Amino acid sequence: MAGLQRETPLTAFSDLVKEWEKCVAQGTSRLTQIANANQKLSHADGESWAGLADANALHVTLRHKLEREAHQCWQHLSDILDQLGDIIVNMRALCFLDVSSSSQDYEIDPTLSRLHYDLYLQQLVEMYQQELMAKALIAVDIVECYDHDTAVVYIASWQMQPFVNKPKQDDLAQLLAPPAAKKPESTHKLVK
């Protein structure tokens, strides 16, 4: 059973980050669908419909269909935001100070106190918490955004995740990682 790796808060956190990325990809798809529906709505309200006297019923039907499509996509996006919120809750549960079961015996770097370990882990969680707030604002704003260029900026902001600082995340992950078992140094020298 040497191949089994003990779960640490860091490995659980990494699994949650993968789940987060999956939700972000789904959210990007929903944002794109909302932006496309809104763009079609603004085009449908353009001057091209004014010349057709009999097109009023068709125009109303089209508007309702596109509004319904955008609303359904927004509902799915809202569900995705809820999933991201649940991921944050699970991330936060990994922090020792936030959980009453701090006596769990995790394999952590012996050079870090539990307090330092917790503080570093909380820094990681805080990045995702701020990102969730930004994503919630994007979700609210894009529903009323009929300018396609602005919608593209919203989608890009959703994808870029500016509050998740990857280099800092990597540095903190290295600090939190348990020390790897050192490989015995070879006593044999390579001869050319």
| pLDDT (tens digit per residue) in 95-149 | 865 444 444 555 666 677 778 888 888 999 999 999 999 999 999 999 888 888 9
Q: What pLDDT is stored for residue 42 in this prediction? A: 80
Provide the 3-class DSSP secondary structure of residue 44: helix
Provide the 3-class DSSP secondary structure of residue 149: helix
Q: Report percent pLDDT > 90 for the chain.
A: 45
Question: Among 156, 140, 27, which residue's Cα sits nearest to residue 83?
Answer: 27
Domain boundaries, the chain: 9-29+78-100+108-176
